[in-house]
Chain A
Amino acid sequence: MKRRRLLQAIAASPAAAPALLAQGPGSRLGQAGTAPARIATVPAGEAATPAPRFFSPIQLETLRKLAATLMPPLNGNPGAIEAGVPEFLDFLAGSSPAARQKLYRAGLDHLEAEAKRLHAKSFPSLEDGQIDAILKPMLAPWTYDPPADPRKHFLAAARADIRAATLNSREWAAAASSAPSRRRRGGGGTVGLYWLPIDPTRPA
């Protein structure tokens, strides 16, 4: 019998399973001073890179160019690219309700279509001035309601998300801690009290 099947058979036996799971009758685990040493770990984000899976390759490249334009490195702080924002937004949009997914995909597709229509080039390969000519007419100040035009809405949402994801990135925090004066100029580096799940229930 293979090991996994053996374990399944033991676990299915009401008498045997508790003995196996209890680390043996002589276990002193739980008594004072017997806890094993805490195992150190690193955040996954420090050990690996994200694998984007939501946007198409051209949408992701368009988002990279857009992020670099909207939030470049300033005042010695990292920009959106250095902060891994396009990859983070791929994760965020991919985890989001359909409305945000549609907003992002349609918005990025529109930028690419405009680049082709006006300059016969892909958006990521445009010059800065060409990008400005596409983006600036789409900008609109707003307070509570984002602009009704879906393209302006997309740019408003992307601009806010890219900025927040940059300011709240690990890279930004590292730069700010190495030069506190930068933190004052650019904001960001938020630290706060996080509420853990409070006595959560398990699904029925």
Chain B
Amino acid sequence: MSDDSAPERDAAGRFVKPHTPDPDTPGNDSTHPAAQAIFGWVSHPRTPALLLAAVIALTLILVMMDGLVAGPGEVGFDTLTGFHALVGFATILAVAFAAWPLGALLRRSPDYYGDTDTVPGDTAEHVEGGQ
């Protein structure tokens, strides 16, 4: 019987931390080989902050371009500088804020209708006999 729980030691015999694969690092065993090439940048710690800064900067650039490339507009008031940016920003805020009271009003337990068995019979577990 092998001892799976035996502590790991280095060449000098010192105890070392056991190696556990980090699921957040693309390229480890459970990660698809193409994930690093396509989405490797996503898992970088600075990505969220950089992405947010880039998106805000791009919004401002587009609003400024709106002033430079003044089109005829479609309904009149849409020629106001930054109109579409305002609508896009405000809509998502409105939808998100409306979701809080609506969720409290309309959300019930998952088995409210007794529909707990919603996994269809043609998933990999059924078709291939599990992963």
Asked if A pairs with B, the answer is no
Interface residues of B (CB under 8 A from A): none
